[in-house]
Amino acid sequence: MDAINVKDLVKEYRNFTLGNLNVTIPSGYIVGLIGENGAGKTTFIKCLLEIIKPTKGTIKLLGQDIKDAKEDIGVVLDDMFFPEILQVKDISAVMKGIYQKWDEELFFKYLKDFNLDPNKIIKTLSKGMHKKLEIATALAHHPKLLILDEPTEGLDPVVRSEVLDIFLNFIQDEEHSVLLSTHITSDLEHIADCIIFIADGKILMEKDRDELLDNYGILKVNVDEIDKIAKEDIIACLKHRYDYEILVSEKDKISKKYPNYIVDKITLEELMVLMIKGERQC
Amino acid sequence: MRIIVSNSSPVPIYEQIKKAIMDQIMNDELKENEPLPSIRALARDIKISVMTIKKAYDELESEGYIKVVQGKGTFVSPKNPDLALENAQKEIEKHLEEALNIASRYDISKEDLKELIDILGGEA
C-alpha cells in the first residue's frame, strides 16, 4: 500500500501556484522534501493534511481519505500550537481525548529520552524543547505515517541525531513511513530513501537518495578553460571569481572524460544551490 | 559482522557496504548459512537509508554471495571460488585501466608499463 498518493494536486493563490503535483510514496521509507523558503513545501504538507483545501486534485493517505486516516498519522507542523499555560505533562490528557490509541506511557518515555521536564510550563520552553514536545506528541499514538514540517528546526546536532534515530527506528516496521521537510539537508543525506525537491511550486526532482548523490557531481573548471567542457555535459553552472562549478550527472563518466579537472561528490545543499541559482549554460 | 562506512570516500555507500560483506564472506569471517542482519535493522544500526542497504543486498544476492529465504531472513551462500577469482580479476582490471589512463596522459608506452609491473613484481 502507498503511504501517500497525490494525483494532480493544484493549489492556486493570487501570486503563487502549487502544482500540478503527482507524488507516490510507498510504505516503508523515509522521504525528504527540500526546497527554498516559499517553494511550496509547507503548502504541500498542509494540503496533504487538509489544513488547506486544494484547488483540485485527489489525496490518499494510507489508501484512505485524510479524515479516515487521522488516527494513523503523526504530525509536526511549522506553526504547531499548544496552549501556553499548560504544563508539558498536560498534553497527554489533551491528546488522550483526541487519539484512541494515545499511549501515555510512551509519551512520558519520549519526554524522558528528550530530557523534557513534564512539569515545565509550555510557555517557558525553548524553541528546541518545544520541537521535541511536538515530536513526542506526534509519535505517542502509534501512527503508521509521520508527516513532519521542519521537525529538526531549532534542534542542536546532538538532539537532531537522536530524532533521526527515532525515525530509523520507526520504519523498522515495513508499514511505517516518514515524510519530512527540512532546510537542514545534511539530516537527509544518509537516512532519506528518496528526495523530493520542490521549486516554485513544482517538483524539480524526485529521486532515490543513491541515484542522486552517487550520480551527480560538481565539476570544477578554471574560468579561462570553460570552453573545454561540452555544452551537453552541463546541467547547471555557477561562475565564481576563479572557477566555474558545474553540476554534472554520471560523475564517473565525466571524470574519465575530463581527467585534468576535479569532479567532487555533491551534497544535497550544493545540489539545491546549483539547481536554483545556477545558469543552464556557462 | 563488521561494517564501517566512509562518508568522504568517493565510493558510493552501497558499494562500500557490499564490499565489506563480500570481503568477510571471502575470508571466512562470515560463514556459509550465517544469518545477516535484516535490511531495516542494518539501516538503523549504521544510520544509512533502507534503499541504500537494499541495493547492496540485491547486488550481493544476484551475484550469488547471499540468499534470501522468504520469511526467514538473509543468509550467506556457499562460497564459490570461481566467483572470488572473477571478482579479483574485475578489481585488477579496474586498477589497470586507471593506470593506463594515467599512462596515456603522459605518453608512457605500454611496454614501459609492463616493465613497471615486472619491476614491482620483483622479476626484473
The pLDDT assigned to A180 comes to 96
A-chain residues within 8 Å CB-CB of B41? 172
- Nearest CB to B51: which of A164, A169, A208? A208
Mean pLDDT of all residues in B39-48: 94
The amino acid that residue B84 corresponds to is A
How many domains does chain A fold into?
2
Q: What is the CA A79 to chain-centroid distance, rounded?
A: 16
Residue A108, Cβ neighbours under 10 Å: how many?
17
pLDDT by residue for chain A (282 residues), tens only, comes to 899 999 999 999 999 999 899 999 999 999 999 999 999 999 999 999 999 999 999 999 999 999 999 999 999 998 778 889 999 999 999 999 999 999 999 999 999 988 999 999 999 998 888 989 999 999 999 999 999 999 998 888 988 998 899 999 999 999 999 999 998 898 898 899 999 999 999 999 999 999 999 999 999 999 999 999 999 999 999 999 999 999 999 999 999 899 889 999 999 999 999 999 999 887
| Residue at A282 is within a domain | no
The pLDDT assigned to A183 comes to 86
Q: Are A22 and A6 in contact (CB under 8 A)?
A: yes
The phi and psi torsions of B96 (rounded to 5 degrees) equal -65, -40
CB spacing of A193 vs B51 below 8 angstroms: yes
CB spacing of B44 vs A28 below 8 angstroms: no
Residues B50 and B103 in one domain: no
The pLDDT assigned to A101 comes to 95
Residue B124 pLDDT greater than 70, yes or no: no
The pLDDT assigned to B101 comes to 86
Residues A62 and A148 in one domain: yes
The distance of A172 to chain B (nearest Cα, Å) reads 6
| pTM (2 d.p.) | 0.86
Residues A92 and A126 in one domain: yes
CB spacing of B13 vs A214 below 8 angstroms: yes
Partnered with residue A73 across adjacent β-strands are A145
Structural domain of A251: 216-277
Q: Domain holding B49: CATH number?
A: 1.10.10.10
A210 touches chain B (CB under 8 A): yes
The distance of B24 to chain A (nearest Cα, Å) reads 24
How many domains does chain B fold into?
2
